[in-house]
Structures are given as structure tokens and as C-alpha cells.
Structure 1
Amino acid sequence: MKLHYMLRLAFKISLFILLTGIISFAGLFLYIWPQLPDIEELRDVRLQTPLRIYSHDGSFIREIGEVRRVPLKIGEIPPILIQAVLATEDTRFYQHPGFDWLGIARAAIGFIKAGGVSQQGGASTITMQLAGHFYLDRSEITIKRKIMEAFLSIKIERELSKDEILELYLNTYYLGHRAYGVGAAAQVYYGTTIENLTLTQYTMIAGLFQRPGKDNPISNPEASFNRRNHVLNRMLTEGYITKEEFNATIAMPETASLHLPAVELEAPYVAEMVRLKLIEDYGEDAVNEGYKVHTTIQRVNQSTANRALRKALQEYDQRHGYHGPEHHLEITQEMNAEAVEQFLSTFSIIGNMRPAIITSILETSVVAQIQGTGRVEMYWEGMNWARRYISENRRGPEPKSAADIFQVGDIVRVMQDEYGQWLLTQIPAVEGALISVDPNNGSLLALVGGFDFNRSKFNRVTQARRQPGSSFKPFIYSAALEHGYTAASLVNDAPITVTGQNSGDVWRPQNDNQRSYGPVRLRRAITRSLNQVSARLLEDIGIDNGLQHLAKFGFDINRMPHNFTIALGSEGISPWESATAYSVLANGGYHIEPYFIERIEDYKGNVVYQANPTLVCDTCDEQPEQTGSAPAVAITPSTADAEAITQPVGNLSPTPEHPDQTRQYARRVVDARNVYVINSLTRSVIHDPGGTGSRAQVLNRKDLSGKTGTTNDQRDAWFAGYNSSVVTIAWVGFDDFSRLGSTEFGSRAALPMWIDYMRIALADIPDVIKPEPPGLINILIDPDTGRPTAPGTPGAFLEIFNEVNAPKKLNEGEDSSVIQDLF
């Protein structure tokens, strides 16, 4: 009887507990279920993936973004890695409904012991971890969170398949050092793709899911090694590996090291331009949307531009003397090579220059320990340039021995020449810029915004506004041709005083050598870069007429001073603006705008952005009257990505079914005859004796045109040069506008950079001058008078004229007023 009573009581208590549990569960279900988020968000989740930037030929330039991720399909993930993760994180993943009551009970015990909050997580299933990862606050682990995880996991398992859940888990979890997902972890820790790893590497990655920030193999190798071995033990227990595999693997050392994306082409200033453009048009999240941006940059051009700029700035720097060591370290007997190397590691590599410490000094050589290289001997030929810097115009005496230059312990910069010899160098304070574009469509071929991006992110191609000096003169001469002047017009190169609009404003331009040459032809004036002639031309045609003509080249005339100083390039412009303007001359008179983004692909590989630039076409039947000033680009977002792409890049229009039907042609802005004559004049700058750009004759090409530029007190040095295929602008100067030195003209400071670049950039481009447009005529003229002359006249040569204002042959007694003289 008593036993029967006890059984009934036990049954009632059990039934009460069961009913209470069911009612409680139902109550929790009714309370929590409506609050749960839509799981469809998981199905359509867009994994944060970094922006990757490439050159036109596919060379990798840079990866930008907060995360590193390589999204993988479940079928692309090796089964052995999946087994390693399941053995460690959730052995019954493919059997349970999404949660584990034992894990929840374990969390409850921890909750009670900790007085309401437990920092020891229970045995959460992979589905529960995924639920917490995407939807819940992970700052602390509480009973409420565990219950929410359980219900969320039920909902997730109802709407996603097991493989979909596991794929999300393996792609989204943070695994240390900005790596999200197993694909990124393989690259970050082993520098390869996931399918190329070994068992020991798979188990290391599988062990990262617990404490990736602290216990990864870079931050804590010992903890990571122990965790890896724990994963191996779990795999052995679960029967995923044999005892032989376990013994062979557990004895292997850990081989992980930090692997950053291998840059194939150095173009950091271009990469930053891409980043800023995508953020401007797509928003801040653009760098994490997995876009692949293919730029217009050509690998050979860009690498050549990098070398040319650094060489030019280093040569300038050495011409002006040695500034002394960068730092000094007192070397003691206790300091071994390892200690010295550790000290050197605190110095960054700048450009192509490594830090080194002088360890011993001989008569005409030194021994230096170079960062990452070891000890080498440097010889006299690589250091004898190092006269002491005094000022931009003065140096100390020539050194007689190495001791005149160094002390033991000096931290200096060194670089290797083409023969592998180490040379003394120094970080130049002077800066430079180079931009190269295709004038027939505006595509950017190369851009270098400074000596070293890590030292200064200021992009001097796009952000610096510097006086162009005489490199501005071709546009003034073009305006003069527009108003009746010819290449043979005589202008008096004599002192001139120009009065400004305000009373007392007086300007007296002078030539660089302070000399005057009297009446000179325009061709000779631009060849010798005579300042007084440019001033007289603008004074004669008028400022308003000059400004209106300058606007045709893309210059913002509202920003320019309304006075005659613009004749000598007094208004600051950027090298980018200069390249835009010179492209009008190079392409025969059409306005194009440089552009640098060729194509954008989304994270799925769909092309969502395709450049459709304005093209120069001399032979097309019709040239539509349009601005032709922007790189029109077409975007066709896929349905899934339509919301992500809300702002266009540049001027965008829907991608047409037949792109040829919407091809955009550049608008003519300057008469073809005018441009041809200017190009002929600027060829003389290079090819005529005494031309300021004559050094470029070393390229042995007849199709080159260009103009040097030097500003007052030699604060800026330019060379702008081109043919019909490539326009390149080179600039040298100090960011603080210091003087370059009394002998540092554009022909000496900037032209060598241009030559070194163009030697390679033009290597495969035919040496051809564009054909003469209709309406031009060649007339034999007297070099002294600029007037038509008879064959046999000493020095006579053929000059090119626009038929509209070409001089007529003068017979005795004829009026000579058709010859334009300005005195």
C-alpha cells in the first residue's frame, strides 16, 4: 500500500514537472518566438570581403578593407577540415535539431555559481554559435542569451539546411589577424589556398574558433600548438584519423607565419584614389563589399614611373649634398649582430632605401650592417658624392676618406645599383609627381604621387597646386595663334612694364638669364622660353580673350587671376590638370578627362561597372556636340546587388545592349590647325639647338613635343611632354615651397624623370607625327625677319602657317603690313 502510494506520488510529481516544463517551454516559445529575427537575412547574408585593386593587365596592386575573407562553398572546403571542426565544436551537428540540452544545463550551473552571470560558455552547438554570432550581444554569456540561442537555432535549422549552416559558420567566424573564415585563415597563416594545406595546418585552423584573438599561432604560438593537439586528439577519438596519422602529425612543429597579400605592382597612390572614389560613390562600406577594381594602369608604365621618379629625386638630392646620418647608435661590445638588427628593425624601408648602421670605417670603404641583409662592405664609388649640405646653392668640400663622411654607429640609408653594389643614399626632402595618360581616351597609364606613400600619403598629382611656370606657355601661344599670330610672327623680346587694374600694380617680367634678344619669331621665343614675349602676347590679345581660350583646355578660369601674370603660369594647377590640358594638344584638339577605373566586379564576379570613355576620332563621320569631359561608365547591378549600389562612379548610364551604339566621342575644343602649329613649336623645344628640352633628344624620336617649366626662385620644376599616344607630366619641388637651387630648372630637375619614363613607355609605339590637317601651308621664310624669302637665302627654312593668316610673298614695293610685328 505504501509502495503504491509512493509510486502514485512520484508519478504525479513527474507529471507536474513535465507539464510545468511543457507550459514553461510553451510560454517561452510564445514570448520569444515573435521577437526572433528573420532568418532569411542569413540566407542572403553578404559576407564582408575586402576591396582588391588590380592594374589593367591583372597585376595585384592592393587589398583594402577591415577584414580578410575568401568566401567558399561547402563543396570547396576539404572534408578533413570539416571533420576537424566538427570533432572539436559539435560532434553531433548532423544529428541534433540545433541545440543541446546538456549544454544549456552546463550554462545554468555556471550561471548559479557566478551569481547571475557566467563567462564560461556551455557546449553550444554550431547552430547556436551562428545564432549568437549574427543576432545576439556577445559581450556576456547569460541564461537569457542561451535560451535565445536555443530558440534561434531551432528557427535556423527549420529554414536552412545543415550544409548552409556549416558553410556560413566556416566563412564568417573571426580567426585572428583580420582573417574571417577558413579560406582567409589559410592565406593569412600559410600563404596558400585552403585545398593546399596539410593535416597539421587544418587542425590548427580548426582550433582557432575558440579563442582566435589570443590563441592564434602568431600571437600565442604555444597556446595555438596545444589547441591544435587537442583537435588531433578529438579527431582520433571520433575516428576521423588513424593512430598512425595522429602520431605522425602530433610530432610536427607548427609552421604558421603571417602572410600579407603579395603586391605585384606598386601603385599605392592609385589605390588610394580608387578607395576614395568608391567611398564617395558607394558609401563607407564599399571597401568591405568584395569589389574587384580593375584600373587602367599599365604594369610596365607604372613600375617605370616609380623608378624614374625616385631616381630623379635621389639625383637632385645628391647634387645638393649629404645631410648627415639619420640617427646614431653607440655600439658597445655587448651588442651582437642580432641586437643591431633588432634596432634596425625600428626603421622603415623608404622607397628603395634600407636602413644600415656603420660598424667599421676603413680608408675608402666602410662595413655596414643592413636591415634584412647582414654586414656588407661599401666602397668609395658609392659614397664619394657625400659633400656636406650647406644650402640649396652651397656644399662643403669633397670628402677625402670615409672618415670624412661617417662615424661608427651612424644610421644611414643605402640602396643597391643595377650591379648589386650597395651605395650610400638618403631620404630626399624634395618631392615629385608623375602622371601619364593616353590622350585619345583619357586612360591613366601611370601615376606616382610622391617619393613614398608610407612616408606621405599626400598625392601631388591630384592634390598639389603648383605654379606651372613656362610649361603654361603653349596655351598662351595657342591663344595668340587664335588671334592672328603665326609661328613666324616677330615679337620684341625687350623689357616690358605692365600696369594692373589697381593703381600702383606694376609687373616687370624678365627672362631667366636676365637678357633680352630683341625681335624674335614665336618659334624661337618658345624654344628659348622667353618670358617677355609671352607677356607681350597676352597684353596684345587681351586678358579676357586669353582666359576664354585657356578654358578650352579645361582650366578653371574663375580661379585664375585676372592679370597678365598668367602668361607665365602664375596660377597654381595640379599635374592632373596639366595632363588634361596637354592631352588637347596631343590628340589634335579634343577635350578628354583622365580616368582610372576600367571595370568593377562584385564579390560574385559580376561586372557591375564598365568604363565607357569618350574617344578621340579624327575620321568619324559625325562628332556629337557633347562635353566629352568625363569617363562615362556603365553600371548594371544584378537584382541582388541593386540596393548596394546606390551612387554611380563618374557619369554613369545603363549598359547598352550594343555598346557601339552609345560610344561617346570627344568634342573638339581647339582648331586642328592651331594645335598642329603648337605641336610643331613645342617639337622645336626638344629638337632645335638651344631648346630648353633638348636633353630629350637622347630618346632619338622625331615625334616628341614638350615644354619645360620653372617658377620664380626655382621653387617648381616641370616638364610636360607628349606625342600623339602618350602625355606625361613630371614635377619636382618641396612641399613647403622651399627653393630648389639657382641651377635647378625644369630641364635639369624634372626632364630626366620624364626621359627615363618615356624611354620605356614609348618603346613599342611607332615614331610617327600626326598628319597635317587641311588648311595648312608651308612657306620658305627668312629666319631673321620671319618674312617669305627666295630659295638660297642663308638660313631660310620652311615654316608652317594656317592658310587664313599665312603671309604672302613680298615683292619689291609691296605693303609689308601682313607681317605681324609687335614692339
Structure 2
Amino acid sequence: MNQQTNTSSFYKKTFMLLFVLSLLLAAIAALYIKLTVIPALPDVNTLKNIQLQTPMSVYSRDGLLIAKFGEKKRIPTQYENVPSTQIKAFLAAEDKDFFQHSGVDFIGLVRAAGQLILTGEKKQGGSTITMQVARNFFLTKEKTYIRKIREILLSFIIENQLSKQEILTLYLNKIYLGHRSYGIAAAAQVYYNSSLEELSLAQQAMIAGLPKAPSAFNPITNPERALTRRNYVLNRLLKLNYITQSDFDQAIAEPISAGLYSASVQLEAPYVAEMVRNEVYNMYGDEIYSNGMHVYTTLESSHQRAANQAVKKALHQYDRRHGYRGVLGHINLDEINLTDFDTSLLSSYQKIGETEPAIVISLSKDSLQAITSDNKTIDITWENLKWASPYINENAQGKQPKTPSDILAAGNIIRIRQQPDSETFELAQVPNVSGAFVSMDPTDGALTALVGGYDFYSGKFNRAYQAKRQPGSGFKPILYAAALSKGYTPATLINDAPVVFNDAGLERQWRPENYSGKFFGPTRLR
């Protein structure tokens, strides 16, 4: 009996000792948090006026997008502009109790901690959307207990300072969703070339499944795992009664439709965009890539489009007059399946300017058929082939062809060009020459259009801005205008006679000549 009493007394004392020690440790921890952790927490109020990193955008005078410059692709959006099904998809995937909890899901944390203790692996997340906001805006990626405590404390403060809608807006604009896209609006543009309002339910679920692992569940690089994750989100939406069975059935049957898209440029003016980027960078430095600056140029979109078309048309016409320089390569058609064409056969031949690669698959007496790099079969008529006399040199061409087979053979890899505002294709080649175009408003000197070469992406040298060409006859209108302003008329006689200038810098004389090498004496101004 005494032994049982002693044993019971021992356990009671041990329990009391452990209880007191636990209270003491808890008090010490609380004191440490109060004196050390809390004072070091960042000011949550900064979230109310947070400046998210967004690229610099360049526009024409009439507001058309020319280019974006920045490391992060982000299109800030407001809560009221996000479709309700998109919000529900994120809640279903990340935090179904977001609108009920006070920032921390303690049950989820305990569940995740238990999983970690039992298996040594973190298979379940315990972070709420609020905790992710705290982590993404204020904390590093280090995995320590102190950081987790900071995250929990910040979450409580954020919930106290901001509304649920404000927290969700911060989250949806900040999260990384793969391929340099930050925020849901940027992801919609990058993966689907769409606005948020244009996304289907299946596409919304795909985007909502990305925050957990943007690389592992990426629809571009890991389509199978992405499909599994998307279907998980759709099942969660159905289970939580966020969508109907009919909505679910339609979305689950939808195939993956994601692609990889760049910003939707509305006006092609890359040479001007680069001039702007360089000028603004010299003024403000690296901050231009992240401060969301909007730069409006003096370009007139109608002028710029006309200039783009005029330069390309003139260069192609000039190049064609000098003959066809031959095919890019050859493929044995007997070794490929034309009914299931492998477009990777053309992957080493890039689209340049208005030209793209294609493979000739058949020829007739007055046309040919070819397959393009996007697996489209096209016809080119003799009218758009007959120009291709063989190039010999810049002053000579070979015999004029009479049939397509005089120029090409089946299996040839060629370049084609779709004629502007037409479904017609022609045999083409990348011009061996380039050109430039500048249009200015005579009243104030503002640029209304500028083209610096045939294709900016093949060579960024800007012939309109960097070439420093002699103006030649292009200066004559300026000279004649000055003469007219001085009282000269078209009938005024000017003596076309030799003149000599002494150049002290070069210690020689300069004797300008007419192109013909002759002088014609008194000549009317016109």
C-alpha cells in the first residue's frame, strides 16, 4: 500500500514539475516573443499602399501598346474585377475557410505538424492565404520556427488591419504562377492570351492549381501533372458546392488549352520601343523595369502601320528584282509521314520578318503545295513564283523560269510570305538589303512613325537612328524650302559652275560635283 502511495506521489510530483516547467518555458517564450520578435515585425500598414513590381509599358499617342520591359510579368487587378468562380477556385485549392478564420488555421497547422513528426515529410500545408501574404510580402524563404512564429503573428495583425477582400487582392496580385508571371491577370495572359473574364472554368481551375508548385503543375512543361492538379481543384469546387454537377462535367472534359504567349502588342514599333527604353533607362536606371511606368510616345498608329508595310514591301520588291538565291535545305519526303507531319523538322528555321519556313510537298505546271511550320497546307500559284530567276550577282540573273519545277523540287525547304490583307502566299526570301523610314510632324518635329530595319528581332541596329547616313538628295527639300523662304522662285537662275572649298582641318580642297560629272551653267531653280 505504501509502495503504491509512493509511486502515485512520485508521478504527481513529476507531473507537477513538468507542468511548472512547461508554464515557465511558455512564459519565457511569450516574453521572448513580446520583447524580441514582435518589435522586429515589419509595419503591416505598408500593405495598404504597396507598390507591386510591374513592367514599364510603352504606348503610341493614341494609347496602343507597343512594348513592355521588365523581369516580372504582372497586370494588377482589383477584387471586384476578378470573376467569382476564379476566387472560389483559389479558395477550394488553397484555403476553403478563408472567410471564416482569423488568419491562422490551427487545426491545419497541428495536422501538418503531426504529419511531419510521423513521416518526416511535409505532405500537408498548414498555411492560410493570409499566412502566404505575410510570407510573400515580409519574410524570407528560410524554414525555421522563429520565421513560422513571425508568420503567424503577422497573419493576426494583417487580419486586424485589412479586410478579407484586401488580403485576397494582395494575394492574387502577388503569387508566382510560372513563366515569369506574377498574379492571376498576368497568368491568364501568359497561358491563355486572355483576360480574366474570358477564362473558362477549366482554365480558372488550372491557374488556381499553380501556387502549390508552379513548375511541377505547369501546363506547358508538365501537362499530365497539370491536368491531374486541375481536376483536383475542380473536384474540390464540386465537393464544396461552389459549382454544379453540369459545370463540373463540362470543365472536366475540357482538354488542356494552355500555350505560352507574350504581352499582346497592339502596334509593331520595336525600334521605337528600344529607343524609349534606352532614353528612360538613362534617366531613371533599373527602377524602370519594376515601377510600372507608362510612357506615351508621339507615334501615330496609322502612320506606323503604313511605314511598317511600306518598308517591308519595298525591300521585298527590290530583293526580288535581283533574283532568287535558292532554297534553305532539303528533306527526303519518302522518310517522313505527311499525314502526321512533324513540325520539328522546321524548328531550326526561324520566322524572320514576314517570312516563315515551309516544305514543298508537290508541284504542278502552274503551282506548288507546301506545309508550313504550324502544319498548314498552302498553295502558291505561278503568279507568285515566276519572279524567281536564279541570282548570279547583284547585276545579273539567270534564265527566266517557265514552270515551278524550274525553280524548286519536292522536299525543298523554302521561305514563304503571306501577302498583306490576303490569304495568298508567295515564294519569298529574307532581303539581303535593309532600309529605314522616318515620319515627322513638320509643325513640332515629333516622330509619328519610325522603322529602323527589316526585322528588329534579327538585328537590333536602328538604321534610322544609329546609322548616321549622309542625307544625299533627301536634304534637297530642306535646301529648296530655305531658298523659297529667302525670295527665290522656280524661275530664279542659279549658276551651276565648279566651286572649291578649302578644308583647313584636312589640309586639302573639296570640289563637289554633280552625279554626271558635268556642269551646266545658268540653270533655273526648278
Q: 1:317 to 1:188 in 2, by over 3 A?
A: same
Question: Structure 1 477/97 Cα, relative in aligned 2: closer, same or farther at 3 Å?
Answer: closer
Amino acid at match of 2:330: L
Offset at 1:518? 2.6
Partner SS, residue 208 of structure 1: coil
Percent identity among equivalent residues? 45
The one-letter amino acid paired with 2:418 is: Q
Q: Please give the per-residue CA displacement for 1:248-293, whole angstroms capped at 9, x wherever unaligned.
A: 5444434333344433322222222333333333332224333343
2:280 aligns with one of 278, 281, 285: 278
Post-superposition offset of 1:46: 1.0
Q: Is the 8 A contact 1:120 1:141 kept in 2?
A: no
Q: For residues 334 and 205 of structure 1, do their structure 2 counterparts lie closer, same or farther at Cα, with a shift above 3 Å needed?
A: same
8 Å Cα contact 1:104/1:146 also seen in 2? no
CA offset digits 1:329-355 (Å, max 9, x no partner): 232412123445332244332222222
Question: Using a 3 Å threshold, how does the CA distance of structure 1 residues 487 and 324 change in structure 2: closer, same or farther?
Answer: same
- CA distance in 1 between partners of 2:37 and 2:255 (Å): 48
Q: Report SS of the residue matched to 1:180.
A: coil
Residues 1:98 and 2:103 aligned together: yes
Other-structure match for 1:269: 271
For 1:40, the equivalent position in structure 2 comes to 45
Residue in 1 aligned with 2:372? 370
Match of 1:316 in 2: 318
* Change in 2 beyond 3 A, CA 1:2/1:38: same
> Which residue matches 2:508?
505
Counterpart of 2:393?
391
The amino acid across from 1:424 in the alignment is L
CA distance 1:244–1:57, shift in 2 (3 Å):
closer
Instruction: Spell out, residue by residue over 1:496-518, the C-alpha distance to the aligned partner (whole angstroms, 9 max, x if none).
Output: 55554378724343322233323
Aligned partners of 2:486 and 2:239: how far apart in 1? 92
- C-alpha displacement of 1:173: 0.2
AA partner of residue 137 (structure 1): T
Q: CA RMSD in A?
A: 3.3
Aligned length: 519
One-letter amino acid of the structure 2 residue matched with residue 51 of structure 1? M
Query: TM-score, normalising length from structure 2?
Result: 0.86
Q: Which of 85, 88, 99 pairs up with 1:83?
A: 88
Amino acid corresponding to residue 447 of structure 1 in structure 2: L
1:147 to 146, 149, 165: 149
Contact 2:352 2:455 in 1 (8 A): yes
In the TM superposition, residue 216 of structure 1 has moved relative to its aligned partner by 2.0
Using a 3 Å threshold, how does the CA distance of structure 1 residues 375 and 83 change in structure 2: closer, same or farther?
closer
The answer to whether 1:14 aligns with 2:16 is no
Aligned to 1:425: 428
Q: Aligned AA for 2:134?
A: A
- Is residue 2:326 matched to residue 1:336? no
Report what 1:445 is aligned to.
Answer: 448
Does the 8 Å CA contact 1:107/1:143 hold for their aligned counterparts? no
Match of 1:518 in 2: 521
**Residue deviations 1:129-150, cap 9 Å, x none?**
2222122222x43334323322
Distance 1:263 1:41 in 2: 33
User: Aligned partners of 1:380 and 1:266: how far apart in 2?
Assistant: 31
Counterpart among 364, 367, 382 of residue 384 in structure 2: 382
Structure 2 Cα separation of the partners of residues 219 and 279 of structure 1: 34
Correspondence 1:60 to 2:59? no
Change (3 A) 1:361 1:162: closer
SS in 2 for 1:519: strand
8 Å CA contact 2:500, 2:510 repeated in 1: yes
Amino acid of the residue matched to residue 391 of structure 2?
Y
Contact 2:188 2:196 in 1 (8 A): yes
**Corresponding residue for residue 581 of structure 1:** none
Q: Secondary structure at the match of 1:61?
A: strand
> Comparing both structures, which one devotes a greater share of its residues to helix?
2
1:466, CA displacement in angstroms?
A: 0.3
1:156 to 158, 163, 173: 158
> Quick one: distance in 2 between partners of 1:143 and 1:519?
95
- Once residues 233 and 300 of structure 1 are traced to their aligned partners in structure 2, the CA distance between those partners, rounded to angstroms, is 49
1:244-643 equivalences under 5 Å are: 246=248, 249-325=251-327, 327-337=328-338, 338-339=340-341, 341-363=343-365, 365-372=367-374, 374-417=376-419, 420-473=423-476, 488=491, 490-496=493-499, 498-501=501-504, 505-521=508-524, 523-524=525-526
Q: Is the 8 A contact 2:193 2:264 kept in 1?
A: no
Amino acid in structure 1 at the alignment position of 2:334: Q
For residues 219-230 of structure 1, the aligned pairs below 5 Å read 219-230=221-232
Aligned-partner Cα distance in 2 for 1:305–1:165:
47
Corresponding residue SS for 2:309: helix
Equivalent residues of 1:204, 1:224 under 8 A apart: yes
- Contact kept? 1:83, 1:240, Cα under 8 Å: yes
SS of residue matched to 2:379: strand
Residue-by-residue CA offset, 1:288-315 (whole Å, 9 max, x unaligned)? 3333434332222221111111111111
The equivalent position to 1:28 in structure 2, one of 33, 38, 52, is 33
* Structure 1 Cα separation of the partners of residues 150 and 248 of structure 2: 38
Q: Which amino acid aligns with 2:471?
A: P
- The correspondence of residues 744-759 of structure 1 with structure 2, limited to 5 A, is none
Higher alpha-carbon deviation: 459-468 or 27-36: 27-36
* Displacement of 1:168: 0.8
| Cα distance, 1:436 vs structure 2 | 1.1
Asked whether 1:185 is paired with 2:219, we answer no
Residues in 2 aligned to 1:313 and 1:256: alpha-carbon distance in whole angstroms: 37
User: Taking structure 1 as the reference length, what is the TM-score of the superposition?
Assistant: 0.57
The equivalent of 1:211 in structure 2 is 213
CA–CA distance in structure 2, aligned partners of residues 368 and 274 of structure 1: 40
Change in Cα spacing, 1:278 to 1:110, as seen in structure 2 (3 Å) is farther
1: CA distance, partners of 2:480 / 2:77: 61
How much has 1:225 moved relative to structure 2? 1.5
User: Contact 2:333–2:411 at 8 Å: present in 1 too?
Assistant: no
How far, CA to CA, are the matches of 2:504 and 2:365 in structure 1?
A: 65
Provide the secondary structure at the position in 2 that maps to 1:424: strand
8 Å contact kept, 1:215–1:224: yes
**CA apart distance, 1:428:** 0.7
Q: Match of 1:350, SS? A: coil
**Contact 2:333–2:361 under 8 Å retained in 1:** no
CA distance in 1: counterparts of 2:486 and 2:247, whole angstroms: 88
AA paired with 2:32? Answer: G
CA distance in 2 between partners of 1:72 and 1:376 (Å): 42
CA distance in 2, matches of 1:391, 1:126: 68
Q: Check 1:206–1:500 CA distance in 2 against 1; reply closer, same or farther (3 A cut).
A: closer
CA contact 1:275–1:287 (8 Å) conserved in 2? no
Gaps of 5+ in 1: 525-823
Question: CA distance change for structure 1 residues 377 and 188 in 2, over 3 Å: closer, same or farther?
Answer: closer
Q: Using the alignment, how far apart are the partners of 1:504 and 1:181 within structure 2?
A: 66
1:166 counterpart residue number: 168
The offset of 1:164, in angstroms, is 2.2
Match of 2:140 among 137, 141, 158: 137
Cα 1:371–1:84 change in 2 (3 A) is closer
Q: For residue 69 of structure 1, give the secondary structure of its aligned residue in structure 2.
A: coil
Report the CA distance shift for 1:320/1:80 in structure 2 as closer, same or farther (over 3 A). Answer: closer
User: Unpaired segments of 5 or more residues in structure 2?
Assistant: none
Contact 1:111 1:142 in 2 (8 A): no
Deviation at 1:484, TM superposition (A): 9.2
Q: CA deviation at 1:237?
A: 4.2
Task: State the Cα distance separating 1:108 from its structure 2 match.
Answer: 5.9
Q: CA deviation at 1:93?
A: 2.9
